[in-house]
């Protein structure tokens, strides 16, 4: 778990690690518990919280040095680079000019064939993410972000930086979604900020918009909807592309609704609707430099905004988005959760079925964020701990055979998608 410390004077991590932990307001026990949870979510090394507390003490006292796998986890945990934590290259390595020359040579060796291969890896990560979320794609995505960041940093030629930046933006945005799933909004924000900066360098409006919408979502998630409104309202984001206009307007509607401004939210929804007819067929998001702008995504945000305003019509666009069978399990899970909340007043059984489907998907993709949301709203379905007992939330009422096997959004003025779907999927719910 650790490497011998070269000497106490050679381990600047002593102070840096303590300061990073103090900045989080954590005790050593709290930091150990958080590190253990992060390692589990990333498929990292297994160790008990007590063992990690002992190791943290040794690392902070300079008695030992974390192994590389723990250096990466500590950097992610504290939101700092390994170098900032005093965990960079050992001091007996090449001198400073030599290290820079080595990094420049490594970046120069990443020619077109290497970039193409990284693009293939990123495309594969997107496909795995669609099915398994962070549980399957976080490791390779995080590694790509680290490699692309180093490569871009050490590539001086402007003619090569754009293509590297495009890959980095796409990878960092995906990693940001993984961090948000893991309930680490600070890390998500940092990654999405990296994605935004890389998108600007790449000159890609699509990637810039993806990073922008992602950052607004993080702000809303931590209760800063007003800041999200300000971010999305910057005139510099205006774009002539109808698809981008529609997506931006829909994101603004969600932020305004979360901030409690119904009039502004409905104005933004109208703008999204005016631009939506011009939206072209979906762009394949797994190709670097391209971001999907789907009508289903616009319907989802439409429904989210209406739900935040307490409008019972929210179920309609949410059901339409779900009926389009989004390829992403994360998106489907969010739609089921939104529908559970939108339907609970008028259709308890349908709401319960959607809640169960949302939980099954959230647990499959490792989204602690969505599980927390379901728990907090009293919508969590039967847990997978063997008890088989559902809480007394909206999914625990009226489960009498009309929940999973048919009741749901049944076309009675609340949309056309049913919670049982049309094909097999997790939890026996037939979620597509």
Q: In the block, which residue shows the tokens 């307490």?
A: 310
Can you give the pLDDT at residue 97? 86
> Which helix (H) or strand (E) element contains residue 412?
none
Percent pLDDT > 90 in the chain is 50
Reduced to 3 states (helix: H, G, I; strand: E, B; else coil), residue 183 is coil
Q: Where are the beta strands (DSSP E) in 11-90?
A: 64-66
Outline where 79-204 has alpha helix (H). Answer: 96-108, 112-132, 134-153, 158-181, 185-202
pTM over 0.75: no
Model confidence at 303, pLDDT cuts 50, 70, 90, reads very high
Using CA atoms, how far apart are residues 254 and 184, in angstroms rounded to an integer? 21
Q: Is residue 307's pLDDT more than 90?
A: yes
Q: Is residue 274's pLDDT more than 70?
A: yes
Can you give the pLDDT at residue 58? 80
Distances (CA, A) of 9 to 13, 183, 249: 10, 36, 55
C-alpha torsion sign, points 291, 303, 334, 407 = negative
pLDDT in tens, 220-234: 999 999 999 999 998
DSSP 312: G
Q: Is residue 8's pLDDT more than 60?
A: no
Do residues 1 and 55 make contact, with C-beta atoms less than 8 angstroms apart? yes
pLDDT in tens, 356-383: 999 999 999 999 999 998 887 654 444 3
Using CA atoms, how far apart are residues 305 and 220, in angstroms rounded to an integer? 12
Reduced to 3 states (helix: H, G, I; strand: E, B; else coil), residue 48 is coil
Distances (CA, A) of 120 to 116, 144, 191: 6, 11, 21
pLDDT in tens, 92-111: 555 778 888 888 999 999 99
Q: Is residue 51's pLDDT more than 70?
A: yes
Q: In the block, which residue shows the tokens 């990637």?
A: 207
DSSP 154: T
Model confidence at 10, pLDDT cuts 50, 70, 90, reads very low
Best CA proximity match to 305, nearest among 351, 272, 266, 336: 266
Using CA atoms, how far apart are residues 316 and 350, in angstroms rounded to an integer? 14
Q: In the block, which residue shows the tokens 């009926």?
A: 323
> Which helix (H) or strand (E) element contains residue 2?
strand 2-4
């Amino acid at each position: 778990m650790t490497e011998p410390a070269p000497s106490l004077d050679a381990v600047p991590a002593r102070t840096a690690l303590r300061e990073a932990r103090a900045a989080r307001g954590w005790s050593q026990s709290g930091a150990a518990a958080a590190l253990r949870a992060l390692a589990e979510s990333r498929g990292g090394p297994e160790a008990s919280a007590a063992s990690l507390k002992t190791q943290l003490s040794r690392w902070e006292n300079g008695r030992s040095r974390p192994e590389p796998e723990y250096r990466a986890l500590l950097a992610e945990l504290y939101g700092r680079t390994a170098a900032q934590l005093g965990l960079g290259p050992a001091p007996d390595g090449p001198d400073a000019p030599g290290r820079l020359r080595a990094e420049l040579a490594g970046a120069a060796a990443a020619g077109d064939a290497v970039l193409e291969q990284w693009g293939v890896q990123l495309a594969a990560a997107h496909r795995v993410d669609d099915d398994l979320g962070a549980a399957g794609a976080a490791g390779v995505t995080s590694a790509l972000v680290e490699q692309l960041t180093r490569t871009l940093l050490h590539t001086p030629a402007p003619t090569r930086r754009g293509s590297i930046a495009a890959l980095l933006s796409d990878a960092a945005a995906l990693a940001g979604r993984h961090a948000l799933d893991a309930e680490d909004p600070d890390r998500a924000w940092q990654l999405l900020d990296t994605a935004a900066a890389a998108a600007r360098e790449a000159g890609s409006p699509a990637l810039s918009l993806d990073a922008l919408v992602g950052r607004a979502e993080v702000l809303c998630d931590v209760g800063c909807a007003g800041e999200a409104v300000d971010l999305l309202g910057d005139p510099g984001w205006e774009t002539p592309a109808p698809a981008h206009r529609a997506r931006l307007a829909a994101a603004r509607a969600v932020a305004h609704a979360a901030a409690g401004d119904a009039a502004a939210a409905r104005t933004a929804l109208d703008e999204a609707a005016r631009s939506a007819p011009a939206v072209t067929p979906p762009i394949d998001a797994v190709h670097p430099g391209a971001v999907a702008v789907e009508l289903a995504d616009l319907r989802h945000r439409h429904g989210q905004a209406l739900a935040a305003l307490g409008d019972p019509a929210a179920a309609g666009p949410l059901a339409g988005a779900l009926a389009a069978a989004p390829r992403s399990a994360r998106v489907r899970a969010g739609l089921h959760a939104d529908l559970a909340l939108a339907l609970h007043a008028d259709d308890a059984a349908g709401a319960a079925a959607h809640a169960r489907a949302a939980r099954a998907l959230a647990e499959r993709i490792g989204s602690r964020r969505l599980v927390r949301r379901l728990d907090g709203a009293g919508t969590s379905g039967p847990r997978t701990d063997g008890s088989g007992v559902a809480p007394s939330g909206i999914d625990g009422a009226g489960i009498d055979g009309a929940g999973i096997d048919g009741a749901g959004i049944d076309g009675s003025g609340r949309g056309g998608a049913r919670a049982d779907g049309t094909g097999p999927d997790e939890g026996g719910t037939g979620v597509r």
